[in-house]
Amino acid sequence: MIFGVGTDVVELSRIQATYDRFGEHFVRRLLMEEELALFQKTKWPVRFLAMRFAGKEATVKAMGTGFAHGVWLRDVGITNNEWGRPLVVWSERGRRVCDRLGIGEGHVSLTDDAGLVIAFAVVEKGLRCTVFPFDIETVPDVEFGRRMWGLDDLPDDEVATAMTFMRQQQTGSDFLPLHQHRVVAISVALRTGDSFRVWSLGDEESDEAEIVGRFFDGIERYAPDLVSWNGSGFDLPVLHYRALRHGIQAPRYWEVGDSDREYKWNNYLGRFHWRHVDLMDVLSGYQLRGRASLDQTAVLLGFPGKLGMSGDKVWEKWLAGGIREIRDYCETDVLNTWLIYLRFEFMRGNLDTPGLEREFAMVRETLAGMSAPHLDEFLDAWPETG
């Protein structure tokens, strides 16, 4: 879908005069490295420069930024494919601006006649920003249970049983309060630029402090949009307590506009902001009775779902030393979350049908290339029509 369009007209005589006056300095102020390589081969330098100037102007108009808001002359460029078709490219800084605005690919058409160069640009909508779907798996914090209730002589399984029994007596549910959960796995996907990755933070030997620290380090580094299923109600509050427990700093995550005005109206903590999308919350219309499980929503949409594993089996797996199986399960939950998010973005109009199909294809190609049994099982359970 179209994000914006732009056009520009440049007089060749104006570019000729500027080139005559400033020469190489003008060329290097205007062109990206990719464009410079093409410029050195051209027989018509002024025409080349005029077309690049007009193409850049039209593109930044389509972006809605102009040459401002973090975009300058060498942050957008015009190259050519093997048939000579002009292609829009961005610098790393320019791509970050596009990601922040939700801009995907750019297209430009160039023509010249009667001493004029005319450029027409179209930029498509894309996924907004660098996107970071995530999921956590937890077990009872038996160390806390021992200290809190003097259960030093009991093994882990009996401490956990005592904790859940007390909770059952208090509330009628054996689900522990959030501060009594210990994080044993965090899996994430990262969609940025033209790449997609999925993995579990740390390794099988990593302790809780390391994986929680890595999670908040990722936010510090990429400033991504977070995507979760019940992240507002479970994952993030648990991570708050565990970061507090281990003395982990996360200034960007907690930013609400005091140091960066961009976060005042769109931050990770605001329930109705878009920097963190809790799909369960949003799709239910923020209504308790409208909530659905990740597993059932994934199956509803033709995605694999849980594949036989579930959160209530994590403690049993943990006691049996099955951290690898826990991490694998967490990764498939992230994949289900991501695929639902893509359909959500399609519903919102941020992806069109070709864009959605490209995103699905990227996930399939990534998983096929990882050669992991649990990901192969996920692919086998995901029909091509999904």
Domain boundaries, the chain: 2-125, 131-342
Bigger pLDDT: 323 or 100? 323
Q: Which two tokens stand for residue 325?
A: 């199986």
Please give the pLDDT value at position 128.
Answer: 61
Q: Tell me what the pLDDT averaged over the chain comes to.
A: 93
Burial 29-56 (b: 16+ CB within 10 A, else e): ebbbeebeebbeeeeeebbbbbbbbbbb
Burial zone of 144 (CB within 10 Å; 0-12 exposed, 13-18 middle, 19+ buried): middle
Bigger pLDDT: 139 or 352? 139
Please give the pLDDT value at position 72.
Answer: 92
DSSP assignment of 139-195 equals EE-HHHHHHHHT-TTS-HHHHHHHHHHHHHHHHS--PPPGGGEEEEEEEEEEEETTE
Average pLDDT estimate for 122-135: 83
- pLDDT tens across 282-317, in order? 999 999 999 999 999 999 999 999 998 889 899 999
Give the model's confidence band at 222: pLDDT under 50 very low, under 70 low, under 90 confident, else very high. Answer: confident
CA distances from residue 73 to 32, 89, 119, 266, 297 in whole angstroms, order as listed: 8, 12, 15, 28, 45
Rounded to 5 degrees, φ, ψ at 155 are -70, 170
Give the model's confidence band at 268: pLDDT under 50 very low, under 70 low, under 90 confident, else very high. Answer: very high
The C-alpha atoms of residue 95 and residue 82 are separated, in whole angstroms, by: 23
CB 109, CB 51: distance < 8 Å: no
Q: Is residue 386 pLDDT above 60, yes or no?
A: no
Burial zone of 213 (CB within 10 Å; 0-12 exposed, 13-18 middle, 19+ buried): buried
What percent of the chain shows pLDDT beyond 70?
A: 98
- pLDDT tens across 48-75, in order? 999 999 999 999 999 999 998 889 999 9
Just give the CATH number of 2-125. 3.90.470.20
Q: Is residue 340 pLDDT above 60, yes or no?
A: yes
- pLDDT tens across 5-42, in order? 999 999 999 999 999 999 999 999 999 999 999 999 99
CA distances from residue 350 to 1, 50, 334, 347 in whole angstroms, order as listed: 7, 33, 21, 8
CA neighbor of 61 nearest in space, from 133, 123, 103, 114: 123
- pLDDT tens across 163-221, in order? 999 999 999 999 999 999 999 999 999 987 678 999 999 999 999 999 999 999 999 98
Please give the pLDDT value at position 196.
Answer: 93
Bigger pLDDT: 358 or 384? 358
Q: State in words which class domain 131-342 has.
A: alpha beta
